[in-house]
Amino acid sequence: MSDLKVTSVRYFETRRGTGYEVKTNVDGIEIWNDGTGGPIYLEGSARDLLPYKHLTEKDLHKLIDEFESWTNTTAWKDAYRMLSKKEGKSSDDTEREICNIQDMSKEDAVVYLVNELAGRIL
């Protein structure tokens, strides 16, 4: 598809529905839906958008879905909670750590989790 990846999603309510602002790994490029019933679109300067003009609404939704499937996956969170509990960490501290991990890019989070969990298991 492209090198464009979603790094965060912020949802907000409008009087006509739910909108969202999506940050990407490309500086100056965001995906938006203004929450007023219109289409999803790329936001950025014309020059920055040029390499991505071929992306359809379906492509943009797929990028968001890929990101959200990672952040909503419970398996890694459950494993992290279980190991933290065994170590005696408070649930508040554990949930704060999970939020911080979810804010990382998928690649950084995977590296962090592998290192963190391997260090706890070994």
Instruction: Print the SS3 string covering the chain.
Output: CCCCCEEEEEEEEECCEEEEEEEECCCCCEEEECCCCCCCEEECCHHHHHHHCCCCHHHHHHHHHHHHHHHHCCHHHHHHHHHHHHCCCCHHHHHHHHHHHHCCCHHHHHHHHHHHHHHHHC
Check if the beta carbon of residue 66 is closer than 8 Å to that of residue 17. Answer: no
Can you give the residue range of the structural domain that contains 60?
Answer: 6-71
- At 71 the pLDDT is 64
* 10 and 65 together in one domain: yes
* 23 and 59 together in one domain: yes
- At 122 the pLDDT is 56
* 21 and 60 together in one domain: yes
Query: In the numeric block, which tokens belong to residue 42?
Result: 């790329």
**Total tally of structural domains belonging to the chain:** 2
- At 5 the pLDDT is 92
- At 56 the pLDDT is 95
User: Considering the domain boundaries, does residue 19 fall inside one?
Assistant: yes
* 44 and 58 together in one domain: yes
| Structure confidence at residue 104 as a pLDDT band (50, 70, 90) | confident
* 16 and 50 together in one domain: yes
Domain boundary among 30, 49, 71: 71
Average confidence score pLDDT of the chain? 85
* 51 and 67 together in one domain: yes
* 66 and 110 together in one domain: no
User: Considering the domain boundaries, does residue 67 fall inside one?
Assistant: yes
The span from the CA of 72 to the CA of 114, in Å, is: 18
- At 31 the pLDDT is 96
Of the chain, the percentage scoring pLDDT greater than 70 comes to 93
User: Considering the domain boundaries, does residue 111 fall inside one?
Assistant: yes
Q: Is the pLDDT of residue 28 over 90?
A: yes
Q: Is the pLDDT of residue 107 over 80?
A: no
Report pLDDT digits (tens) over 78-103. Answer: 777 887 888 888 988 888 888 888 77
73/48: higher pLDDT: 48
User: Considering the domain boundaries, does residue 1 fall inside one?
Assistant: no
